[in-house]
Amino acid sequence: MPSPQFANPDVPKQFATKAALGIDSRAPFGVKCHPFWGFWGMTRTTRRVGIVLFQLGGPDTLEAIQPFLYNLFCDPDIIDFPFARIGRKPLAKLISTTRARKVQHHYATIGGGSPIRRHTERQARALQSELRGQGMDAHCFVAMRYWHPFTGEAMEQLRAAKCDEVVLLPMYPQYSSTTTGSSLNEWRRLFQDDLPSHCVDTFYRNTMYLDSVVDKVNEALSCFGSPELPDIVFSAHSIPMSVIEKGDPYQRQIEETVSLVMQRGAWRNRHRLCYQSKVGASRWLQPSLTHTLRHLASEKVREVCIVPIAFVSDHVETLGEIDHEARHLAEHLGFTQFEMSAGLNDSPKFIKALWHIVQDALAAPVAIPVRTHGRKLAEPQYAAAAGLD
């Protein structure tokens, strides 16, 4: 029987120790965290419930790229080193200015800005409507980590709505200290209200979430003359191996997600997993999407279906890196057909999955809030792991 505070068996033991409390831990957020793998029944409440949807965010214009990156590199949980309080902002200014010039073309190819805020707000509206349709006094808010609407803005909206309790819902199916950990740690730093809180740390095992992914893959496969022939390539955001070696469960959970999706899809196609968005010279999760496409081409594979497996919304990594850059590479390598499964966005089945997840969260008991200062991350490569969008 897992302890009442750390119910997720996938979380390494060191994340549950007092010495390790911080960005990798769910304990310091002052919330009760559970993985939600299925639907146990409707929870009825007359209390006003706030649901906060977390994402990293993305620049909505080309002009916003540099300040977005500046906010990312100013994050004390992303960049920390001796005398960081003095040097963090100048360093963030230098890196963000240089990096902005390099990634501007990614955003230019998808319309001049990230659509992730638009998709997340649509998800929030759809989820709110679904919950209210079931009789819940629900109010959904969006909290972006590095661009508007920021976490603090979501908190003000939550307070203005006079909610009685809150569900924290990171929109990352799998847990990583670089995504879920960072988003929830920011909430912990800023939110000191004595409000009963529930937290979802992963939902990659939720059956309806898995079915929503299967539906999108089937839609993409239906574009092929023989849907059973193309290779299925699952692509996830890569992170540094140093993060994994510290016990981050992300890689294991990604691999399990792929296995679960393939089981539910019951496809006979060959499949493989790769990673994208590597930055810098350090070791990251491999193989890369580019390497995988070249390897498939060398095996005379001519049809491929790419499935973004770590994202729930279309954004620069799906629309730019996969559907633009990888597509062009595939054409150059001689592929005759290249398809990408669309993001879940506000698809009805995915919204229904979120509804079930929120209901399960509310059915779980609330832990006594724990307040700690936690620890900081000391390695700059975490910044790259957070991605650009």
Query: What's the start-to-end Cα distance of the chain, in Å?
Result: 38
- What tens-digit pLDDT sequence spans the chain (389 residues)? 333 333 344 544 433 333 333 333 343 334 445 454 444 445 544 799 999 999 999 999 999 999 998 988 787 655 655 656 667 788 888 888 988 888 898 899 999 999 999 999 999 999 999 999 999 999 999 999 999 999 999 999 999 999 999 999 999 999 999 899 999 999 999 999 999 999 999 999 999 999 999 999 999 999 999 999 999 999 999 998 988 998 999 999 999 999 999 999 999 999 999 999 887 778 999 999 999 999 999 999 999 999 999 999 999 999 999 999 999 999 999 999 999 999 999 999 999 999 999 999 999 876 544 333 333 333 444 444 444 34
Residue-level pLDDT at 89: 83
Cα separation, 127 vs 139, in Å, equals 9
For CA atoms 201, 206, 208, 209, give the dihedral sign: positive
Residue closest to 140 by CA, chosen among 315, 366, 351? 351
Burial of residue 235, with CB atoms counted within 10 A of its CB: 0-12 exposed, 13-18 middle, 19 or more buried: buried
Instruction: Please report where in the chains the tokens 């540094």 appear, as a residue.
Output: 240
Distance of CA 54 to the CA centre of its chain: 8
pLDDT digits (tens, 9 = 90+) for 226-277: 999 999 999 999 998 988 998 999 999 999 999 999 999 999 999 999 999 8
Q: Which domains does the chain have, with CATH numbers?
A: 207-340 (3.40.50.1400)
DSSP string over 65-107: HHHHHHHHHT-TTT---TTHHHHHHHHHHHHHHHHHHHHHHHH
pLDDT in the model for residue 72: 81
Distance of CA 301 to the CA centre of its chain: 30
pTM for this prediction: 0.83
Q: Which helix (H) or strand (E) holds 234?
A: strand 231-237
Taking Cα atoms as reference points, which of 164, 157, 106 lies closest to residue 136?
A: 164
Q: Residue 267: its pLDDT value, please? A: 98
- Confidence (pLDDT) at 73: 79
- Residue 5's pLDDT is 31
CA distance 256 to 274: 14
Q: Which residues contact 259 (CB under 8 A, 6 or more apart)?
A: none
pLDDT of 94 reads: 85
Q: Measured between alpha carbons, how far is 45 from 49 in angstroms, rounded to an integer? A: 9
Q: Which two tokens stand for residue 108?
A: 């230019």
Geometric angle at alpha carbon 186, from 180 and 189, rounded to 5°: 140
